[in-house]
Amino acid sequence: MIKIRDFKLDDYNQLIDLWNKAKLPFKPKGRDSYNKIKEEIKKENSIFLVAEEKGRIIGSIFGTHDGRKGWINRLAILPKFQRKGIGEKLCVMVEKKINKFGIEIMGCLIEDYNKNSFDFFKNIGYIIHNDIKYLSKRKNEDI
Q: Which pLDDT score, from 0 to 100, does residue 3 have? A: 96
Host domain of residue 83: 2-123
Q: Report whether 106 contacts 99 (CB < 8 A).
A: no
CATH of the domain at 32: 3.40.630.30
Give domain status of residue 136, yes or no.
no
Our count of domains for the chain comes to 1
Give domain status of residue 138, yes or no.
no
Mean per-residue pLDDT, 13-29: 94
- pTM of this prediction exceeds 0.85: yes
- What's the CA dihedral at 17, 23, 24, 29 to 10 degrees? 60
Phi, psi of 141 (to 5 degrees): -75, -10
pLDDT digits (tens, 9 = 90+) for 118-139: 999 999 999 999 899 889 898 8
Rounded to whole angstroms, the Cα distance separating 1 from 117 reads 25
Closest CA to 89 of 102, 110, 72: 72
Q: Report whether 142 contacts 30 (CB < 8 A).
A: yes
